[in-house]
Amino acid sequence: MSETSVIHDIGYQRYEGPRLGRGAVIGALVVHGLRVAFGLGRSAKAKIFPWLVFGIVTGVAVIVGAVRAQADIVILDYVQFADTMSWLIILFVAIVAPELVSRDMRSGVLPLYFSRPLRAADYIGAKFAALVAAVWLLLGVPQLVMFLIAAFTTDDGMRGVWHEVGDLLPAWAYSALWAVLFAAISLLIASLTGKRAFAAGAVVAVFLMTTPVFGVLQTLPSQNAQHLAGLASPMMLISGVGLWLLPDTNPGWSVGRFGPVYGIEAVALIVCCLLLLLARYRKVASL
């Protein structure tokens, strides 16, 4: 470069700084997905829905907590809270999962991702982690609110607080189970189409259609059939795993001695969804 051009030099600069590995790239993609889930860094329109859901869920938690503190009536315990909020969660994943994967498919941005040091599994993993985290926050934060209200109004001092912690932690794990299963199913459905509205409809439909099946099976005279009815619906499946692992909960039905079956199906369903997702994106990535 000549001496005289230096003053006006706005020429190209090579990048000499650090280049981060795949771990950091996946991390960046997870954070990006989490921001997308809650509409952060996007238009006000994109924020309305997630924050509305978040507001409702937290509002319910505050009411439940307050009623318990004032009147000593337990409307919902931590675990029941997660069950009761399930329809809102379905709405949430139905909107957010297409936002995470259908958008990328629609806008044709995937070749730009996969021409970088990013594998199909990394992409799936990051999107999955982001959605799991978003759903878990949606349940876990209100549960924490309930806990805080209970902890500050307890009459038993430290012992009461410890008791609440003992209730909260399994409930957080239970919320994580909700998050993992719902994220896996909804991402798989959403990855099949680039149209967000279709994807959202399909996610709601899958959860909606399977619930009546549970209702019908529950009316069968056989007790085994009643105990196994929950396997037909993802929502009841989680509920069943809850019944098996957290026996104090009482959602009004029972899994009898079939608890492990629920556990196995839940794990199998999650693994299956993720493998199908991976297969789908292996194909997409090579296009």
Which residues bind to another protein, rule: CB under 8 A?
10-15, 17-22, 24-25, 28-29, 32, 41-43, 103-104, 107-118, 285-287
Q: Which residue number, 123 or 136, has a Cβ lying nearer to another protein?
A: 123
Tokens representing residue 136 in the block: 């878990």
Distance CA 23, CA 122 (A): 9
CB of 114 to another protein, least distance (A): 6
Distance CA 105, CA 120 (A): 13
Residues 6 or more apart whose Cβ sits within 8 Å of residue 132: 176, 179, 180, 183
Q: Which residue number, 49 or 253, has a Cβ lying nearer to another protein?
A: 49
CB of 111 to another protein, least distance (A): 5
Contact 51, 141 (CB under 8 A): no
CB of 279 to another protein, least distance (A): 17
Distance CA 187, CA 34 (A): 14
Q: Which residue number, 128 or 136, has a Cβ lying nearer to another protein?
A: 128
Q: Which residue number, 206 or 284, has a Cβ lying nearer to another protein?
A: 284
Q: Which residue number, 5 or 219, has a Cβ lying nearer to another protein?
A: 5
CB of 29 to another protein, least distance (A): 7
CB of 133 to another protein, least distance (A): 18
Q: Scan for tokens 């969804």, then name that residue.
A: 273
Distance CA 283, CA 287 (A): 7
